[in-house]
Amino acid sequence: MGSHSHSDRRRFLMGGAALAGVVTGAVRSVRGQTPAPEARPRDNLAYGQPSRFDDTIRKTTGRATAISDTALMTPLQDLDGIITPSGLHFLMDHVNGVPDIDPQQHRLLIHGMVDRPLIYTMDELKRLPSVSRIYFLECNANSRPLRGPNGESVQLVHGRTSCSEWTGVLLSILLKECGVQKGASWVVAEGSDANKYTMSIPLGKAMDDILVAYAQNGEPVRPQQGYPVRLVVPGWEAIRSVKWLSRIKVVDQPYMAWHESGNNADTRPDGKGLWFRFELGPKSVITRPSGGQRLPGHGPYEITGLAWTGGGAVRKVEVSTDGGRTYKEAELQQPVHRYAHTRFRIPWKWSGEEVVLQSRCTDERGEVQPTIAEAAKNLRVTPDYFYEADHFNGIQPWKVNRDGSIQNALFL
């Protein structure tokens, strides 16, 4: 597209190296530790707000595990289309508070196995060629609370996924500016939160499609989402998408950091740990009608929901209104973006009888979302296993009772 050729772009990048400061001494410490920075004061004219009648908010589960304690869920049942409003994006980890970072003071260091370690200011990052892409994020622990009081709504079970238009620089552009050395095979990304959140990512993915993102849905990334800059790693568990990004070290092995080891790895039935499962499987869930809602009466409805996959694009979503005996293909909102939430819709007429609604995603690789029984069989576990396991992408059945009430039917 356009008349600027590959060689133009290369020249631009060569010239661009002058933008960032070469590392000469000690790394400047960049961190903020205010536990919860206040939203800036704003009036409703300078920055509009939702209606006082609109109660679409993030809710938290009441479960007392390290993640669920603080995680806040996207209210999927109240949303339409594929964009999640930034104020409603789920939070995957709030344990260490949200750093209160002044973008003028923030720096991103790239070092390790590179020819030219560089430090970027935010202004320098924004002078580089940018891209905008619609990508979903999903926490590895999404869909854990499959039953109990938190299993009642799509928000509390599946609300650890959101989708935004992210803008930033491809990480590959920064790595090329620094010159990755032979033998390098991983990058280790570090955030500037109090705990220095750290994640290892294979170099191949880093050179492919990872974004160093400074904007979300048009405006600067929100503090809770990594202001002023974060990684967005498309299709992979969201714990890899390091927020408040301040350092990337190019290395020759993963670092097995705290967040990627014991804290976020499942234990298999044989006692071994499941480490480095990056990619998310094909998944879908009906968001309306869904658990906790009540149909006012029989007659026509629209069934709608979201599908996504770490395998790229969603190819089809099928909807069953008889508990999985038969399926009909739903309409997919166009265009379908790779690594993005995909909205599906299908008209439905409720007879007033008891029915079970569920959806099934097939992705561009031909991989099909399993039932929980199939998922358990694949791992040689009982379905109960997924109550505490990560990466669960099983089919979610919702039972519509005769009185119109709807409940989670996964363990009925």
For its own copies, the closer of residues 261 and 333 by Cβ is: 333
Shortest reach from residue 42's CB to its own copies, in Å: 7
For its own copies, the closer of residues 127 and 377 by Cβ is: 127
> Which single residue is written with the structure tokens 């704003």?
42
Ordered alpha helix ranges (H), 129-271: 154-158, 171-178, 203-206
Residue 92 in tokens: 């995957």
Dist CA 375 CA 369 (whole Å): 9
Sign for the CA dihedral angle at 54, 57, 63, 69 comes to: negative
For its own copies, the closer of residues 85 and 202 by Cβ is: 85
The distance from CA 170 to its chain's CA centroid, rounded to whole angstroms, is 17
Shortest reach from residue 267's CB to its own copies, in Å: 31
Shortest reach from residue 412's CB to its own copies, in Å: 26
Q: What is the secondary structure of 293-352 as a DSSP string?
A: -B--SSEEEEEEEEEE-TTSSEEEEEEESSTTSS-EEPEEPSSPPTTS-EEEEEEEEE-S
Shortest reach from residue 262's CB to its own copies, in Å: 27
Shortest reach from residue 302's CB to its own copies, in Å: 6
For its own copies, the closer of residues 56 and 261 by Cβ is: 56
For its own copies, the closer of residues 267 and 326 by Cβ is: 326
Between the two ends of the chain, the Cα-to-Cα distance in Å is 54
Kindly provide the residue ranges of all beta strands, DSSP E only, lying in 211-282, ordered along the sequence: 211-216, 219-220, 230-232, 245-251, 266-267, 273-274
For its own copies, the closer of residues 92 and 184 by Cβ is: 92
For its own copies, the closer of residues 200 and 287 by Cβ is: 287
For its own copies, the closer of residues 5 and 378 by Cβ is: 5
Residue 205 in tokens: 């993915």
Give the number of residues written for the chain. Answer: 412
Q: Which of 160, 193, 163 is nearest to 91 (CA)?
A: 160
Shortest reach from residue 256's CB to its own copies, in Å: 31
Shortest reach from residue 210's CB to its own copies, in Å: 17
Angle made by CA atoms 248, 252, 254, in degrees to the nearest 5: 70
Shortest reach from residue 338's CB to its own copies, in Å: 11
Dist CA 124 CA 177 (whole Å): 13
Residue 11 in tokens: 């020249």
Shortest reach from residue 301's CB to its own copies, in Å: 5
Residue 33 in tokens: 């530790």
For its own copies, the closer of residues 196 and 222 by Cβ is: 222
